[in-house]
Amino acid sequence: MIIAFIGDIVGHPGREMLKQYLPEMKKEYEIDFVIANYENVSHGFGMTPKNANEIVGYGVDCMTGGNHSWDKKEIENIFDTHEILRPHNYPDEVSGTGCKVYDVAGEKLAVLNLMGHYSMPMCDNAFRKAKETIEALHVDGVKNIFVDFHAEATSEKRAMMMLLQGQASGIIGTHTHVSTDDFQIAQGTAYLTDIGLTGCRDNVIGMDEKAPLKQFMTGLKGHFDVPKKCKKILQIAIMDFSEGECTSAFKLKQFDDGELLKTDAWIEKD
């Protein structure tokens, strides 16, 4: 199966890039299933039902979240009506789930959403939750497993790769909005520390630079806004999963001026 993953979609600019490029990418690369992180979809914070329907309309099959999942309270009403996840290590009393299994191209695909610990809300242990969930999926005969690990610290993301290497088909980090250059496949597991944002690329993590610069210069916080006009990028990872392993993978950077950059994942030799 060919699956694709898009990281933090930031506001209208991010949604605009999906509308313009995702449908054709699905056709060109014969993508069977698209996963995208929604936590910044609606003006940078959370997601409204209207924007959820918009994202689905552009070709996204499953949406993962993070620490901003509940910033728009209306999301409580659509966990059961849309293919929306929230971090699985939130307590069981919280609405929604962080793991779902789908039928894709004649095989089962599990999507698992987890959140890290450093600078994040208090939650259950992400590493223990990941281990027990994946072990249960294997018992149920689910081999193809994709993990969106929403975390601030690169060390946490790398540690998750070491824990799940050979157990999950793909592990890709989100949250920082800054892409890393370490896409690899090791023991059948695709790994990328952070895929980076989809949205504005000529400011600070997809937001207008005024508020973050004021905070860095004075220590005073301000309201972060998504610019109405900016230079944009769509970042997407495309992976081929079979029998629980990733056999090939690459990342595309699609710029709004039409330029397209492709980077193949490096394959670690045994």
Residue 270's pLDDT is 74
Residue 269's pLDDT is 84
Q: Which active-site residues does the annotation give?
A: 68
pLDDT digits (tens, 9 = 90+) for 226-263: 998 999 999 999 999 999 999 999 999 999 999 999 99
pLDDT digits (tens, 9 = 90+) for 5-47: 999 999 999 999 999 999 999 999 999 999 999 999 999 999 9
Q: How far is CA 108 from CA 34, 65, 83, 267, in A?
A: 14, 21, 16, 24
Q: What is the mean pLDDT of residues 194-203?
A: 97
- Are 115 and 82 a contacting pair, CB within 8 Å? no
Mean pLDDT of the chain: 96
What phi and psi, each to the nearest 5 degrees, are found at residue 212? -65, -35
**Six-digit token string for 48:** 């409204």
Residue 189's pLDDT is 98
Best CA proximity match to 85, nearest among 76, 95, 97: 97
Q: What is the DSSP letter of 226?
A: -
Which residues form the domain of 202?
Answer: 2-267
Residue 151's pLDDT is 97
Side chain identity at residue 70, one-letter code: W
Contacts of 230 (CB under 8 A, 6+ apart): 13, 199, 200, 201, 202, 203
Residue at token pair 């800054």 = 178
pLDDT digits (tens, 9 = 90+) for 126-184: 999 999 999 999 999 999 999 999 999 999 999 999 999 999 999 999 999 999 999 99
Helices (H) and strands (E) in the chain, counts: 5, 14
Total domains in the chain come to 1
Query: Which CATH number fits the domain that encloses residue 93?
Result: 3.60.21.10
